[in-house]
Amino acid sequence: MKDLFKGELVRLSAFDPEELAKAYTGWTRDSELTRLFDAGASALHSAKAGKDFFEKMVKEDGSANHFFSIRKLDDNRLLGDINLDVINQWGSRDSFVGLGIGDRNDWGKGYGTDAMKIILRFAFAELNLRRVSLSVFEYNPRAIRSYEKVGFQHEGRQRGALLRDGKRWDMLYMGILAEDWKEQNHG
Beta carbon nearer to another protein, 57 or 177: 177
Q: Provide the minimum distance between the beta carbon of 153 and another protein in the complex, in angstroms, as a whole number.
A: 8
Beta carbon nearer to another protein, 13 or 135: 135
The 8 Å CB, 24+ separation contacts for 153-160 are 153/180
For residue 11, what are the contacts with CB-CB under 8 A and spacing of at least 6? 3, 5, 70, 71, 73, 118
Q: Provide the minimum distance between the beta carbon of 12 and another protein in the complex, in angstroms, as a whole number.
A: 26
Closest C-alpha to 147, from 105, 106, 102, 96: 96
Beta carbon nearer to another protein, 46 or 153: 153
Q: Provide the minimum distance between the beta carbon of 184 and another protein in the complex, in angstroms, as a whole number.
A: 15
Q: Provide the minimum distance between the beta carbon of 139 and another protein in the complex, in angstroms, as a whole number.
A: 13
Q: How many CB atoms lie within 10 A of CB 66?
A: 21
For residue 168, what are the contacts with CB-CB under 8 A and spacing of at least 6? 159, 160, 162
Q: Provide the minimum distance between the beta carbon of 120 and another protein in the complex, in angstroms, as a whole number.
A: 16
Cα-based distances in Å from 62 to 9, 30, 67, 110, 136: 27, 28, 8, 28, 23
What residues line the site for another protein (CB under 8 A)?
Answer: 39-41, 88, 90-94, 130-131, 133, 153, 155-163, 168, 173, 175, 177
Beta carbon nearer to another protein, 39 or 44: 39
Beta carbon nearer to another protein, 47 or 161: 161
Under 8 Å between Cβ of 49 and 102? no
Separation of alpha carbons 156 and 159, rounded Å: 9
